[in-house]
Chain A
Amino acid sequence: MQLNTKHFGIIEVDEKETLYFPSGIPGFEDVKKFVLLGRQEVESPFFWLQSIDKPDLAFVVTDPFYIREDYYVDVDDEEVEEIEIKDPENVLTLAIVTIPENIRQMTVNLKAPVLINMKNNMGKQVIMKDDTFPVKYYIMTGGSEPPR
Chain B
Amino acid sequence: MLVLSRKKGQSIMIGNDIEISIIDIQGEQVRIGINAPRNVKVYRKEVYEEIIKENREAAIIDVNPELIRGIKIIKNGNHEDSEGKE
Q: Which residues from chain A sit less than 8 Å from chain B, CB to CB?
A: 7-8, 25-28, 38, 41, 43-46, 48, 57-60, 66-67, 69, 76, 78-79, 81, 96-101, 103-104, 106, 109, 111-112, 125, 127, 135-136, 139-142
- Tell me the chain B residues, 28-58 only, with Cβ under 8 Å from chain A: 38-39, 41, 43, 47-48, 50-58
B-side interface residues, number (CB < 8 Å): 32
- How many A-B contacts if CB must be within 8 Å? 98
Q: Could you tell me the distance between the alpha carbons of A12 and B30 in the complex, rounded to whole angstroms?
A: 54
Residue of A at shortest CB range from B47? A127
Q: Is the CB of A96 within 8 A of B81?
A: no
Q: Is B59 an interface residue when CB atoms closer than 8 A count as contact?
A: yes
Knowing A78-B38, A79-B41, say if A98 contacts B58 (CB, 8 Å): yes
- Choose among B58, B61, B63, B73 the residue with the greatest number of A CB atoms under 10 Å from its CB: B58
For the complex, is B80 an interface residue (Cβ under 8 Å from A)? yes
Among candidates B38, B43, B73, residue contacting A67 with C-beta atoms closer than 8 Å = B73
